Amino acid sequence: MSDHEPDEPSLVVPSHTDAASEAGDFNPTGLGPVEVHTPDRDPNRILPLLATSGLALTILAGIELLLTIALGLAVEVNQLSRVARVGYAFLTQLEKSPLGLLLVVAAIVTAVAAKRAEPNSATERRTSLAAGLIIGFAVVLAMGSVLAIVARFNVADLVETQKIDGVTRRVLAIFLVRNLGAAVVALYVAGAAVRPRPRA
């Protein structure tokens, strides 16, 4: 026997940290690397916020529509019918407020959230509610825009100083395009949001 015994082979045990750094995140079950999803990297976190924002904007637009109708009914003008008074209220109020633009923004936000919402989720239910309300409010806005033009002609027949000339006709045309056009766009976008989507 020699004075020097052969060195035993050293056993190198790879650390879990090194293995995890090469193969991905370490999985203690031994089934291989797993992906870790952190909330900061999850793009779907924004969907509930979009759905809530779309619904909130829709409710604001609806409140303004209802208040405009109530204002028209509250005004006492014997020469004008109730329908004409409501139309004149739309004529005066829509000149001050971008209600049509508000509905369009609400419809776009709702459609974006609805496109990526999980089936049967709270986000999908919220977007469906918002889209349904947008469709109803867009129809009311379209009808109110037409009634506003009719009411303006009725007022012109009653008041000598409110006659409609060429400039007034152009202003009314712009008014109709802006509000009726916004209502049509909101109606189309909201309709696309509630359109049945293929289930995964």
Q: What are the tens digits of pLDDT across the range 14-54?
A: 454 454 444 455 455 555 555 544 444 445 678 889 999 99
Question: What does the pLDDT average to over 113-126?
Answer: 87
* Global pTM value: 0.72
Residue 158 is assigned to a structural domain of this protein: yes
What is the Cα–Cα distance from 62 to 55, expressed in whole angstroms? 10
Residue 60 is assigned to a structural domain of this protein: yes
Residue 103 is assigned to a structural domain of this protein: yes
Say if residues 197 and 118 touch (Cβ distance below 8 Å): no
Instruction: Judge whether residue 80 has pLDDT over 70.
Output: yes
Report the range out of 4-13, 37-46, 68-77, 180-189 with the highest average pLDDT.
180-189
Mean pLDDT of the chain: 80
Give residue 166's domain range.
Answer: 46-194
Which of 140, 113, 134 minimizes the C-alpha distance to 57?
Answer: 134
Residue 5 has what pLDDT? Answer: 54
What is the Cα–Cα distance from 165 to 103, expressed in whole angstroms? 31
Considering only residues 83 and 75, tell me which one the structure prediction assigns the higher pLDDT.
83
Residue 39 is assigned to a structural domain of this protein: no
Residue 56 is assigned to a structural domain of this protein: yes
Q: At what angle do helices 99-116 and 82-94 cross, to 10 degrees?
A: 80
C-alpha distance from residue 109 to each of 133, 143, 166 (Å): 14, 24, 39
As given in the structure block, the two tokens for residue 188 are 């189309």
Residue 94 is assigned to a structural domain of this protein: yes
Residue 35 is assigned to a structural domain of this protein: no
Residue 67 is assigned to a structural domain of this protein: yes
The values of phi and psi at residue 25, to 5°, are -70, 135
Q: What is the DSSP letter of 31?
A: S
How many domains would you assign to the chain?
1
What is the Cα–Cα distance from 92 to 68, expressed in whole angstroms? 9
Residue 4 has what pLDDT? Answer: 52
